[in-house]
Structure 1
Amino acid sequence: MGQNVARGIVPAVALTVLVLVGCSTAPERGTADRAEPAGETRGSAKAGAGSGSAAEGAVIGGAGTPCALPVSFSTAADWTAEKVTAGDDPAFASLVRQGGVDLVCEIDAKPAGNVGYLRVWTGKGKGTPREVLEGFMADEKKAASVRYRATEAGELAAAEVTYLITGEFESEPKKERALAVSTPGGAVVLHLGGLDTQEHEAMLPAYDLAKRTMAVTD
């Protein structure tokens, strides 16, 4: 495998294996559209919303950026983007494909002091944002309290999902979220995980910045 696999996919797989492997709770399908997972308190929601706006760093997605994507967006200051390439290894290829989209870019929060990634997945599918996101979540076997809602990413129509992951390495459920858009260049899923809920909420301003500045690339 190439250098990008060693530096990009292996950390992602390690984080996934060590943190996300978990319980056998099945996702809740067909739930009413809501913005936050069930069980979130008003206090924790306020904490996430009150964490402030992220200072802008680089814009990625266009030609000449670390990740050429169907969309572009601003990353938070000090976050570093790197292209993910599976190469010819079928084992790694299976780990970076989920619900019809492939992991193509990771934006690492560690240089900014957090533990987690914004991950960008792309595919050739032409479904609605909700259909793309439901396909992505169909392979998220450890998700519970799944809640969808319609939203916007920049000027693009989008679907967003919030959910909980509980695994053998977590003392309590942790939040994750993703959004999907459909573009002329294909489907895009932007996912935010994190080591735990505290890290997830600390990274929300970076996710919101990417969501707010998203645009279709030329």
Structure 2
Amino acid sequence: MRHPIRTLAPLAAALAAGPLLTGCGAPEPLPEVTPGARPSTSATKAAPATQAPAAARGDVGGPGTACALPVSFALAEKWEPTAIDDPENPEFAALTRQGPAVMRCEVSAKAAGHLGFLRVWTAGKGSARTALEGFVKGEENASKVVYKETAAGAVPAAEVTYTVYSKLMEESKEERAFAVGTPKGTVIVHLGGFDTEEHRAMLPAFELARTTLKVL
């Protein structure tokens, strides 16, 4: 399924976590979902070092799936992918571009009960680490940036964790992404979230994407 480029809802735009909306209609209301399980106060002091992947309930990126991508990976149950229509249009650059990357696919966690998304971006050929660094530099108010070398499926990957400060919420929230090189360019898979607690609740879906990724 594809849809036209949409504008961000006011609150979601400020948090960089809300869904993209249709460009011609009234903004959709914030999703009426029950947020995911929240860690205790002591658990929120530091991000978990490792996270077990979620169980796979489908995939995205391959032939016949919602998004045509240079890679494929498994999706957690009820996570719903949607292709971004006309992402190269300069009119929508503020929504679909970050650093050297262009957004190609948005995977919503709304039906799974979370406020957040996996978003897939592509950049030109070259070092995955360099593309990832450019992606993070394109994120306003990013700090506490930590890179590491890892693997995505059977291929080498670069991964980053960082925080983004929200002026509206007056607090920082965690985000992370990984990048892999493919013959068609670099692919970046990013996980945001409404806040740090929602972000951490969605980490199993992020790990599922990373560990099951295949270059097409």
Q: Which TM-score bucket, shorter chain as reference?
A: 0.7 to 0.9
Q: Which residue of 2 aligns with 1:191?
A: 190
Kept after mapping to 2: 8 A contact 1:100/1:136: yes
Q: Which residue of 1 aligns with 2:91?
A: 91
Q: Report whether the alignment pairs 1:178 with 2:165.
A: no
Kept after mapping to 2: 8 A contact 1:5/1:87: no
Cα distance in 1 for residues equivalent to 2:144 and 2:185 = 28
Distance 1:145 1:196, change over 3 A: same
Cα distance in 1 for residues equivalent to 2:83 and 2:60 = 11
Amino acid at match of 1:170: M
Kept after mapping to 2: 8 A contact 1:147/1:162: yes
Amino acid at match of 1:169: L
Q: Which residue of 1 aligns with 2:201?
A: 202
Paired residues, number: 192
Cα distance in 2 for residues equivalent to 1:111 and 1:209 = 17
Compute the TM-score of the two structures, normalised by the length of structure 2.
0.80
Cα distance in 1 for residues equivalent to 2:214 and 2:136 = 23
Amino acid at match of 1:105: C
Amino acid at match of 2:156: A
Q: Which residue of 2 aligns with 1:10?
A: 7
Post-superposition, which runs of at least 4 consecutive aligned residues in structure 1 deviate over 3 A?
Answer: 13-16, 41-53, 86-90
Gaps of 5+ in 1: 22-40
Cα distance in 1 for residues equivalent to 2:116 and 2:207 = 15
Greater relative CO, 1 or 2 (CA 8 Å, sep 6+):
1
Distance 1:51 1:151, change over 3 A: closer
Share of identical aligned residues, percent? 45
Kept after mapping to 2: 8 A contact 1:129/1:157: no
1:90 CA displacement? 3.2
1:179 CA displacement? 0.7
Aligned-residue CA RMSD (Å): 2.5
Compute the TM-score of the two structures, normalised by the length of structure 1.
0.79
Kept after mapping to 1: 8 A contact 2:56/2:75: yes
